[in-house]
Amino acid sequence: EQSPLILQVSAGARKYAKHIYLVKLVEAALEDSNLPIALHLDHGDSFEICKDCVDGGFTSVMIDASHHDFDENVKITKQVVEYAHAHGVVVE
């Protein structure tokens, strides 16, 4: 009834909807409701996508750099964590 809400955006959703549309949908939901709402990026596959979401108002992001070798995966994950945390955004 009054539970917090997490809206998760997949890579597929980002392909078909402009980033700003997704953010504006959440802003409209916040104005229409007293519920706490989080906007989460699911399986962002690059630093650039995660950065774009952080800069665009997402409250959390998930980095999935598993398509890279282990060392590159760790490097990208660290880069995302440092950037996101500097902007108050949680990383999965």
> Annotated active-site positions, please?
42
Instruction: Report how far residue 87's alpha carbon sits from residue 84's, in angstroms, rounded to the nearest whole number.
Output: 5
What SS3 state is found at 17?
coil
Burial class (CB in 10 A: 0-12, 13-18, 19+), 15: exposed
